[in-house]
Structure formats: structure tokens, C-alpha cells
Amino acid sequence: MRLLSMGLAFASLLTISTTAWADTFFDTVEQPGVQSTTMTLLNVGVATFDTLATGPQTFTTDFGTGGTIVGTFANVDVQAANLYGGANGVGNFASDYAGSFSLTFATPQTYVGMWISALNATNNLAFYSDGTLVYTFAPAQLLSFVANNPAYYGNPNANFHNQDRSEPFAFVNFTDLTGRFNQIVVSGYGYELDNIDVGTVVSTTSAAEVFNLPEPAPVGVLGVALIGLGFVRRLRQHPA
């Protein structure tokens, strides 16, 4: 797999290896402090966990979409807002403190967004389509992108402001451009998520910074359209 890293005025090439299958995902990170998506969506819904009791549990939600999008969270550990998680510093958030947890959709989806707080190097997201791995989001992808922007580090909410300065807090949008997924598995102790947004993408244009671009990606077009750094992450099936 090749990663093409480009700024607005320069480009460089680096490589990593993988054995996974995957679709092409278009990932963006919202501006520092933003804790919900700015993308244009239809049938938009959100899971906030605020009405649930705390502790490990399995539950089904329609994200407030009136049944248009339905998902089941299995073995999720719901925690009260603290310095590590809880959008806007209040309510509850989802964690994997009880072990890995999953979100399984009743129908395949192409978009999900989530506020990833206090990200650490053990945290991973795996996207599946009917049991087949189609994409993996490793913490290095986000950590490397925000490394030179201190505004992402530390809890941005007033009641926990600037606590946990060693870890980034960012809302990330994931859009599958070449397929669909119906399950997300969260693993790596200490993964904190909130404001899990769902919907149908109308436009990938938002106030977010692009850090994962579909292939091909002409430099001339991207230089006009994008803010920040971007890179191509396209995984291909290995020949049998």
C-alpha cells in the first residue's frame, strides 16, 4: 500500500505494509474543539449515551432517526463524563473499559462520525461488511496528523479544560466510498467515544481537515479544495 502525503505546496511519498482487505475510505477530522460533524447528511442521527445507566451493557438504538438507521451496541461500557470522555463535558460516553465492544447496523452504512477523546496508541477501529474486514483505522493515522497542532491535545470542555494534555481529542468522519459496512469493532483499552453520528452523506465538504483521501487524487485539484494535510489510504486484495 502506498500513502501519498501532501500539503498545500509540497508532496512526499511513504509506504507501509498490510495484509487486510479494505474499501476506500475518505476520512476527515473536524477542527479542534468541534465535537459533532459539520458534514452535510440526510437521515442524520446521533447516539449520545446520556439517557443510559452507566456500566457494561448491550442495547439497540435508532440514533433518533425514527427507525431509518438502527444499530446495536454490544458489551459497551457506558461511563459518566470525565477528563477522558463525554462530549461537551457532560452526560455519558462509550468506552471499551470492559473489553472490546461492537456496533452492528441492521442495514449497511457508508458513513459514521464520532468524537474520539483521549486517543492512545492501543486504540483501534475495525470496519466489517458481513464479517469481512474492509477497513482498519489505527491510532497512528490520527496521531501523526494532529502531532504538530497542540490545539487538539487536552480536553477542550470548560469543566475539564486542558486536562489530559498528552492525548488528542478530535471528531473524525469516516465515509466508505467504494462499499458499505455493517459493523464496527472497537478495541484497545481506553477507547472513549461519544456523539456517534450516522446518516447518508450528501457532501464530503465541511469545515473539517482532510487526512485520508481517495485514489487517485490530483495535486492541483486538492491544493484548491483541501485544508491541512491529506493522504491516500487504499488497501487492495492480495492475489489468490
Cβ–Cβ under 8 Å, residues 107 and 180: no
Architecture of domain 23-214 in this structure: Sandwich (2.60)
Cell of 56: 457494561
Looking at residue 21, its pLDDT comes to 52
Domain spans, the chain? 23-214
| 176 and 128 Cβ atoms separated by less than 8 Å | no
- How many CB atoms neighbour CB 152 within 10 A? 22
Q: Which residues contact 75 (CB under 8 A, 6 or more apart)?
A: 56, 57, 58, 98, 99, 100, 101, 102
- Non-local (6+) Cβ contacts of 223 within 8 A are 8, 9
**What's the pLDDT score for residue 148?**
86
pTM above 0.85, yes or no: no
Q: Residue 119 to residues 22, 125, 143, 202, 226: CA-CA distances in angstroms?
A: 23, 12, 8, 28, 24
Cα Dmax for the chain: 54
State residue 147's pLDDT score. 86
Q: Say what the pLDDT of residue 13 is.
A: 21
- Of 152, 182, 185, 148, nearest to 167 by C-alpha is 152
What are the pLDDT tens digits along the chain (240 aa)? 222 222 222 212 222 223 345 799 989 999 999 999 999 999 999 999 999 999 999 999 999 999 999 999 999 999 999 999 999 999 999 999 988 999 999 999 999 999 999 999 999 999 999 999 999 999 998 998 888 899 999 999 999 988 889 999 999 999 999 999 999 999 988 899 999 999 999 877 777 777 765 543 333 332 222 323 332 332 323 233
The Cα–Cα gap between 30 and 24 comes to 20
Residue 205: its pLDDT value, please?
72
